[in-house]
Structure 1
Amino acid sequence: MIITNLPAEFEEAKEVLGAIQQAGFEAYFVGGSVRDTILGLKIHDVDIATSAYPAEVKKIFKKTIDTGIEHGTVTVLDHNRAYEITTFRTESTYQDFRRPDHVKFVRSLREDLKRRDLTINALAMKPDGEIIDLFDGLNDLKEGNIRAVGVAEERFHEDALRMMRAVRFASQLDFTIEKNTLDAIKHNAHLLQNVAVERIHVEWAKLLLGTNPKTGLENFLATTLYYYCPLFKDKEEVFRKILRLRGSVQLSSEASAWTLICYLSSLTSTAVKKMLRAWKSSNELVDSVVIATEIVSLIERRKLDTWSYYKGGLHCIKFANEVASILGFGINHTTLEENYAALPIKNKHELKINGGVLISQLKIKPGPQLGKILEKIEYKVVMGEIENQPTALLKAVSSWIEAE
C-alpha cells in the first residue's frame, strides 16, 4: 500500500528522514500518525524510528535534546519543529509489568515493530508513502480489529497499560477487540494495579471521549479492568446505567464524562473530590466537576436559578447541561445562553465597588464584617436587588450598617 497524498506534517518531516538516510541509516515514520493517516483521521505528533543509534543521530543534526536517550529517543529540532527520533530496539523482561529491565538497540525494523502493542500501531511508512506492514495491521484496520502483536499475554506482561490502550482504541475507533486479545486482557486484568494512576488516567479519559465510548465501557467491564482502577470496584452498575442510555453517548470533555459518572453515582461534593483526587486529577478538573455535578441535580429538579447560573459559570453550566441532555432532562441551549447573558455581572470583579472603597469612604475596618458585606453586595447585585452603581451600592451598605 502506498499513500499518495501525505499530510503536511509528513511532508515537513521528510527532510529529517532524508538526512538520516543520507548518513547511511534506515528511517521510517511509525506509530499512531501512520495509523490515523490510513484511516483518514487528523494526525498529531509525527514519530520517527531509525536504525541509527542515539549517538549517531546526534552527529547528524545540529540541534538535539536527550529526551529519553537511555531508551533510544532523541528529539531533533528542525525549522522550529521538534521530532522524536527513536532507535530500533528490543526489550528484556518486565519484572514490574511497566518498564523493561533493560533496552537493547538493534538495526532491525522487524525487531522494533514486533515489541509494539497492537498490530494497527505496528505499521511503518517510508518517505514516499509506502506502508510496511509486517504483522497484518492493514487488514486489522480494514476489518476493524484490535489485535495484539504476536502473543497477547506477552505484550500485556511487558506493559500492563497496553490492556487499557486496547479498550481505549476500541472506543476511539469503534473497533472490536479480537477474541485472543480480549481473553488475554481478562486473564491479566489484575496486572493493571502495577501501573501508575497517571498513566491509566490518560487512557481512561481517551476512552470516555472516543467515537463510541459504550464499546470501550463494555470491554472495560467484560475484562474486569474497572476493578483495578481507583475507587471503581463498586461502580459496575453506574457503568451499566451508561450502557443502557439510549443512543450514543458523545461527550465533549473529560469534565463532562466525570460529571456523568459522579452524578449517576449520587456522589456528594466531598465524594466527588475524593474520587477525582484518587485519579490524580488537576485542581481545575476537580473544582469543575464538583460544581457541574451539583448543577445537573439543579437542572433535573428545575431549580437552576439566577444565583446558580452565576456561581456555576457558563463553562460548567454548558457541560452540566450536556450531561443533563444525555440523561433526558437538559435545557434548551439557546435558553441557557440567554439566561447567562442576562446576568447583571459575570464575576465579582465587575462590581462597581470593592473593599478599598468601603474602607476609605464608610470607614469599615478590614476583617470578617467587610467580607460579609462584600458577599452580600455580590448576591444582591446578581439577583437584581441593587443596581451595580457606586452610589446605589454605598447607599445600600450604609443602610445595612445603620440597621445593625
Structure 2
Amino acid sequence: MRDAVISIIKRFRDRGYECYLIGGSVRDLILGNEIYDYDFATDALPEHIRRLFRKTIPTGIKHGTVSVLVDDHQFEITTYRSDGVYLDGRHPASVSYSAELRVDVERRDFTINGLAYDPLSGDVMDYVGGLRDIEDKIIRTIGDPVLRFMEDGLRPVRACRFAAKLNFAIDEDTFRAIPNTLDIVRKVSKERVRDELIKILESKKPSVGIEYLRTSGLLELFLPELAECHAISQNKYHIYDIYYHSIYSCDAAPKEDPMIRLAALLHDIGKVPTKQPGDDGDYTFYNHEVIGAKIAKKIMKRLKFSNEQIDAVNILILNHMFHYTDEWTDGAVRRFIRKVGLENIDNLFTLRMADRKGNGARKGLPAPIEHLKKRIERVIEQENAFSVRDLNINGYIIMDEFGLKQGPLIGKILNELLELVLDNPVLNERNVLIGRAREILERRKAENGD
C-alpha cells in the first residue's frame, strides 16, 4: 500500500498541488501501530482531484472529500477547508475551501489527529502540539474543547475510544468539557454510538474507555443499565462491585471477538434487579442470567446491533451460569450442547474464563469444567445428534409414513425422537425412529381418546 500512497502524493506534486497524509494514519505511523486507512489533505479542489485520477467516488463531495481507487485500494482525499456552523451536532452546514494546510488542521478534533506527514521528505507538520501530546500520551482537543464538542457530538465518545485504544489519558480541560456538551451527544445516531462502542471493545483495554464514558456522564446516555451497576456490591465470592467486575471481565475476553467482549461486559447486568439478601445475610442474584439476557437484548436492539449479533450475545449471557458436576450423564452433556448450540460452546467457555478472571481472585477454568470440555469433545467425535436436523429422519418421512399433514404435530414428534436419541444415540436409525414415531402417535391418540 505504501507504493500507492507515494504515487498519489507524487501525482499531486507533479501537477503543482500540495498533498499530505493526515489524521489517524500519521498518528499510528509515529506510534508504530498498524495502519488500516490512509487519508490525504490537499489544496486541490474536488473537481481537480477527480480529473487527476481515473477511478474516483464522490464520497463526501459536499464537504470536499473524494475517494480515489489506486491499486485496488480506496483512499479518501479532502480539500483543505474550514467549517461553517454545525446545526445537527455532527456535520458542518457549509465548508469553505482554503489554500492553507494550517486552516484545515485547526478545524479537526484532537491534536494527535492534527498531524500532517510528507512521505517524500519525511517531514511532519505539527501546528497544534500533536507530537508533544503523543509523547505525553494525552488526548486533547484542538482549540476550545467545548466548541469542538458542540460542533460534533460524537467527538466526546471518540475521545474515550482513543483513550482505550492508545492507553492515553484525556486532558483535564478536554474531559471537563464533556459533561457540558451532553445535549449535543444526544443528537448522535445510535448506529454511530454502536460503532464507537465496538471499537472500544476491540481495543487492548476497553475498561479504560468505558470508565471515561461513565465518569463523564456518557455511559448514562447510552448504557444506563451498566452505569447503574456502579457501587452495587456483590457477595463474598467477588472482590469488585458489579460494574468493575463487568468491565474487568470485558478486558479479560479476547479483543479479536467484540461480541464475546460485549457478552462479558453485560453478563451480570441482571444482578441489579435480582439482588436480594440471603438467609445467611449475604446477597443472592437468582435468575440474574435470565433477566440479564433480556436486558442485554433490549440494549442491543436500542443500539441497532444486528439480529445475529443479538442472538450470539444473548445465548452466552443466558447460559453463563451453567453448573456442571461429574454426575451429568452423557445424555445431559448432549442436552447441554443442544441448549447452547455446538457453534457457541467454545465462546461460552471463553466467557466463563473471562468472568473468573474479572473476579479478581480467580483465573482459568475450574477442574470440573475442564472435564466437561473433554466430555464434549468425546461426544462430538462420536458424531451424535444434537438437533432435529441431525436425526436420520425428517418431517416429510413422517408425513409420508403415517399419512399426516404438515403441522405442529410433526415438530412435536421430531422433538420427542430427539430426546430419545440424546439419551441413546444408537436409536438414530431411520427404521428405529419410524417405529418410535409410531409409538408416539399411538400414545398421543390414546391420550386424546381417538
Q: 2:412 aligns with which of 361, 372, 388?
A: 372
Other-structure match for 2:145? 152
Q: Distance in 2 between matches of 1:254 and 1:247?
A: 9
Other-structure match for 2:427? 387
Offset, 1:334: 8.5
5 Å-filtered alignment, 1:95-134, equals 95-128=87-120, 129-134=122-127
Q: Distance in 2 between matches of 1:324 and 1:116?
A: 42
Q: Distance in 1 between matches of 2:187 and 2:370?
A: 43
The 8 Å contact of residues 209 and 250 in structure 1, kept in 2 or not, is answered as: no
Other-structure match for 1:234? 228
5 Å-filtered alignment, 1:220-259, equals 220-229=213-222, 231-232=224-225, 234-237=228-231, 238-242=242-246, 245=248, 248-252=251-255, 253-259=257-263
Offset, 1:305: 4.0
Offset, 1:161: 0.7
The 8 Å contact of residues 253 and 350 in structure 2, kept in 1 or not, is answered as: no
The normalised TM-score by structure 2 is 0.80
Q: Which amino acid aligns with 2:314?
A: V
Other-structure match for 2:264? 260
Would the alpha carbon gap of residues 154 and 54 (structure 1) be closer, same or farther in structure 2, given more than 3 Å must change?
Answer: same
Offset, 1:55: 0.6
The 8 Å contact of residues 170 and 176 in structure 1, kept in 2 or not, is answered as: yes
Aligned to 1:298, the other structure's residue is in SS state coil
Other-structure match for 1:5? none
| Percent identity of equivalent pairs | 30
Other-structure match for 1:308? 336
Q: Distance in 2 between matches of 1:341 and 1:47?
A: 51
Q: Which amino acid aligns with 1:62?
A: R
Offset, 1:137: 1.4
Would the alpha carbon gap of residues 103 and 175 (structure 1) be closer, same or farther in structure 2, given more than 3 Å must change?
Answer: same
Moved more, 309-318 or 129-138: 309-318
Q: How many residues are treated as equivalent by the alignment?
A: 395
Offset, 1:383: 4.2
Q: 1:345 aligns with which of 372, 379, 385?
A: 385
Q: 2:373 aligns with which of 317, 332, 336?
A: 336
- Please give the per-residue CA displacement for 1:320-367, whole angstroms capped at 9, x wherever unaligned: 322322222846578537615624135543332211222223333211
Other-structure match for 1:3? none
Q: Distance in 2 between matches of 1:346 and 1:52?
A: 62
Offset, 1:380: 3.2
Q: Which amino acid aligns with 2:50?
A: K
Q: Which amino acid aligns with 2:312?
A: S
Aligned to 1:84, the other structure's residue is in SS state strand
Q: Is the counterpart of residue 326 in structure 1 residue 318 in structure 2?
A: no
The 8 Å contact of residues 295 and 308 in structure 1, kept in 2 or not, is answered as: no
Would the alpha carbon gap of residues 31 and 347 (structure 1) be closer, same or farther in structure 2, given more than 3 Å must change?
Answer: farther
Q: Distance in 2 between matches of 1:383 and 1:112?
A: 69
Other-structure match for 2:311? 287
Q: Distance in 1 between matches of 2:61 and 2:53?
A: 15
Q: 1:41 aligns with which of 33, 36, 56?
A: 33
Q: What is the Cα-based RMSD across aligned positions, in Å?
A: 2.6
Gaps of 5+ in 2: 232-241, 271-290, 357-363, 445-450
Moved more, 376-385 or 48-57: 376-385
Q: Which amino acid aligns with 2:301?
A: R
Q: Is the counterpart of residue 15 in structure 1 residue 18 in structure 2?
A: no
Q: Distance in 2 between matches of 1:49 and 1:34?
A: 12
- Please give the per-residue CA displacement for 1:43-100, whole angstroms capped at 9, x wherever unaligned: 1122122111111111111121111111111111223222222111111121332221
Moved more, 314-323 or 218-227: 314-323
Moved more, 298-307 or 356-365: 298-307
Q: 1:166 aligns with which of 146, 152, 159?
A: 159
Other-structure match for 1:298? 322
- Please give the per-residue CA displacement for 1:279-300, whole angstroms capped at 9, x wherever unaligned: 1111011111111111102258
Offset, 1:131: 2.2
Aligned to 2:76, the other structure's residue is in SS state strand
Would the alpha carbon gap of residues 121 and 383 (structure 1) be closer, same or farther in structure 2, given more than 3 Å must change?
Answer: farther
Q: Is the counterpart of residue 69 in structure 1 residue 55 in structure 2?
A: no
Q: Distance in 1 between matches of 2:324 and 2:208?
A: 27
- Please give the per-residue CA displacement for 1:235-287, whole angstroms capped at 9, x wherever unaligned: 444434435x5895344323223322332111344333212111111101111
Q: Distance in 2 between matches of 1:17 and 1:380?
A: 69
The 8 Å contact of residues 221 and 236 in structure 1, kept in 2 or not, is answered as: no
Offset, 1:142: 1.8
